[in-house]
Amino acid sequence: MRIERILLFSFTFSILHLSLFAQRTFSVSGSLLEVDSQNVIPFAYVINLNSQNGVVTAGNGSFVISASEKDSLQFSCIGYEKLIVKVISIPNLNDSTKTYKKFYLKRKVYDLGMVYVTKIKIKPNEREYMNRIINRPKVQNINVAESPITALWQNFSKKGKELQKLEAIFIELLNNEQIEKKLNTEILRKLLDDENITLEKFRIICPEISDYFILHHDGYELYSVVSQTYKYHLRAAQQ
């Protein structure tokens, strides 16, 4: 009977010890890097999924957060795949601190090439007419000796001025069509992982992403800047 009591006490003590150990809070620190380039990832989110407490990585990618052995940490950043790590998997440095560790995120692969959502619907015959107006022969400067009638007509006639205005309108329409193919609401929602974003909201939040920039950049060169700029403005709004 005495042996059974001793065994029961030992078992109970062990369970209590393990329970207390699991609830012990550790200081978890480390740095967040990109898996391919090994570059640090600043201003990323580190969230304790159990307590919902979180921190943002510093400019050098480092962070410190409190967590117990039963917790899991989620690392996330716009443009990267999320990473979830169980705290118990990180080695202990001592009874209150986990070993400093590097964590790596993979870049998201954006398959956006076939996503076309545009309000602008230009018919083939309309496009052909626009291009004829835009690409019509022009005389840049008045040269009376070479072409006095054409030069004077294009620069001073009522119809010539109307064609110049029409050309500007058509160029704007065709540019807007290209912009909305590259950056529309559906693309933005996939890219930024934000179901509430629209193209109109994005242009208000990120005015520095100009039409010229969108027209002259493609693929990763375009989408990485869009992601980082949006993330910067979100962070600034939260401060």
- pLDDT, mean over the chain: 77
Structural domains of the chain in order of their starting residue, each with its CATH number: 2-105 (2.60.40.1120), 124-238 (no CATH)
For 87-141, write each residue's pLDDT tens digit: 999 999 998 999 999 999 998 765 544 444 445 556 666 667 667 767 766 544 4
pLDDT of 150 over the 70 cut: no
- Radius of gyration over every alpha carbon of the chain, rounded to an integer in angstroms: 30
Identity of the amino acid at 205: I
Residue 179 CB neighbours (<10 A): 20
For 36-59, write each residue's pLDDT tens digit: 889 898 888 899 999 888 888 888
pTM of the model: 0.44
Percent of the chain with pLDDT over 90: 21
Residue 228 has phi, psi (to 5 degrees) of: -65, -35
Q: What is the mean pLDDT of residues 174-179?
A: 82
Confidence of residue 238 (pLDDT cuts 50, 70, 90): confident
Q: What is the mean pLDDT of residues 67-71?
A: 93
CA distance 158 to 162: 6
Given this model, what pLDDT does residue 199 score? Answer: 86
Adjacency order of strands within the sheet including 62-68: 62-68, 25-34, 101-105
Q: What is the mean pLDDT of residues 173-184?
A: 83
Q: In the structure encoding, which two tokens stand for residue 158, read together?
A: 């009522």
Residues contacting residue 28 through CB under 8 Å, at least 6 positions apart = 64, 65, 66, 67, 73, 87, 90, 98
